[in-house]
Amino acid sequence: MTLSDLSIRRPVLAAVANLLIVVFGIAALFELPIRELPDIDTSVVSISTKYTGAAPKVVDTDITEIIEGAVSGIAGVKTISSESRRGQSRTTIEFEIGRNIDEAANDVRDAVGRVSGQLPDEADDPQVVKSDADADPVIRLAVTSDRMTTAELTDYADRFLVDRMATIDGVARLDVYGERPFAVRIWLDRRKLAARNLTVADVEAALRRNNVELPAGEIESDTRQLSVRLDSRIPTLDAFRNIVVDRIAGYPVRLSDVSRVVAGVEDDSTVVRNNGRDAIGMAVLRQSQANTIAISNAVRAEIEKIKPLLPEGMSIEIGSDDAIFVGASINEVVHALIISLILVVAVILVFLMSVRATLVPAVTIPVALIGCFLLINFLGFSINTLTLLALLLAIGLVVD
């Protein structure tokens, strides 16, 4: 007995079966992830290391080559690409398709951790993220204020905004642009240094001796245990100016004798403006296998939670959002799907001149399409341009 015979002989069973297909298909539709393309992103892990002031060749020799050697033996590595430029090293590792991104990132962290002791002391700790170092941001944000300077904006963003955005599910990292972190700037006078037979290295050594924080052991008693640390960090500009660089004939040579010490910012080479106002830019980068639309929705929801907590005069605006383009692409295909369904039913009605005969495809096509959502969800696929185009082509097959 064929399915059509069973449906004719037992119409109630056929109606109930179709109703169940529609109900479960609609339920599956709301659970399906939405993407522009199928989820075939490879697992990509990037390692970034800052080595302020180092030339590209030094960065390549002292950092990049060591990290490359450490990660080359990880299982499932497809390609390794590196970039060494002034003050920064970047290594991008692409794994074979199917490699779990979390396991890959953990393997990379373990490999980097084993060689971190070989890196220069002046270099920052390597940062391992689950994304391509050269990937484009999913969404860009601009933080502006009518009452705060850029340095104050930077301080607020670092303390209250960056961590909240970076911990959103699917976000690999948050890049900040145009920031102005506070720093003490020391402008050395080479003539004064030469007159006292001092070098830049002497000044650097004096700063390192006098501006440190180190563990100093523990104090234990019968009832308590206390950690002791040596904190000789310099708290004020005057304290910096009074640092003794060297002694000549028993007289101290202070930092203020050979330089000009001022309060400033760490780097002012990058400027971000939003609608003509100084701003702090934040770029959200997704993990290599994360959903662009889901991240965009999560970021927008987080912004709505943050807005009531912002100081007066401060605002967060969205500069660009890739999810808008992805959503527009999906909507265009959905519109084409609806139009094709209407045209198919209209053509059948015109040529058959029978409302009863037209009702068959008019009911069958939507039921078949909705039932496909249940199958798509069961197979672990997503709603994307290709699956919707497949449904578009399937309309003609259903009519046939």
Same domain assignment for residues 362 and 382: yes
Do 117 and 60 share a structural domain?
A: yes
- The confidence band for 301, taking pLDDT boundaries of 50, 70 and 90, is very high
Same domain, 88 and 67: yes
Residue 317 counted as domain residue: no
**In whole angstroms, what is the distance from residue 176 CA to residue 178 CA?**
7
> Is residue 195 assigned to a domain?
yes
- Least reliable range by pLDDT among 63-72, 77-86, 124-133: 124-133
46 and 127, same domain (yes or no): yes
Residue 67 has a pLDDT of 92
Whether residue 231 is contained in a domain is answered as yes
Instruction: Specify the CATH number for the domain of residue 80.
Output: 3.30.70.1430
Mean pLDDT to the nearest integer, 339-361: 83
The per-residue pLDDT for 1 is 59
pLDDT at 133 over 60: no
Lowest mean pLDDT among 111-120, 161-170, 219-228: 219-228
The count of domains in the chain is 3
Whether the pLDDT of residue 216 is over 70: the answer is: no
State mean pLDDT over 105-115.
90
Q: CA–CA separation, 316 vs 281, rounded Å?
A: 10
Residues 51 and 129 in one domain: yes
Q: Is the pLDDT of residue 261 over 70?
A: yes
- pTM higher than the cut 0.85: no
Q: What is the DSSP letter of 381?
A: -
In a domain, 333, yes or no: yes
- Are 79 and 128 in the same domain? yes
Contact indicator for 78, 41 with CB cutoff of 8 Å: no
Report which residue type is found at 189.
Answer: D
Is the same domain home to 129 and 49? yes
End-to-end CA distance of the chain: 22
User: What are the tens digits of pLDDT across the range 365-399?
Assistant: 888 888 888 888 888 888 888 888 888 888 777 77
Query: Is 156 within a domain?
Result: no
Residue 119 CA to residue 60 CA, distance in Å, equals 11
Pair (369, 387) in one structural domain: yes
State the CATH number of the domain containing residue 220.
3.30.2090.10
Number of residues in the chain:
400
Q: Could you tell me if residue 55 is inside a domain?
A: yes
When pLDDT is cut at 50, 70 and 90, the band that residue 141 belongs to is very high
- 379 and 367 share a domain? yes
Both 16 and 92 in a single domain? Answer: no
Residue where a domain terminates, one of 97, 114, 134: 134
Instruction: Assess whether pLDDT exceeds 80 at residue 233.
Output: no
Check residue 358 and give its pLDDT. 82
Helix (H, G, I), strand (E, B), or coil: what is residue 173?
strand
- Examine residue 271 and state whether it is found in any structural domain, yes or no: no
Do 18 and 99 belong to one domain? no
- Which residues span the domain enclosing 8? 3-37+326-399
Co-location of 31 and 46 in the same domain:
no
Residue 289 in domain:
no
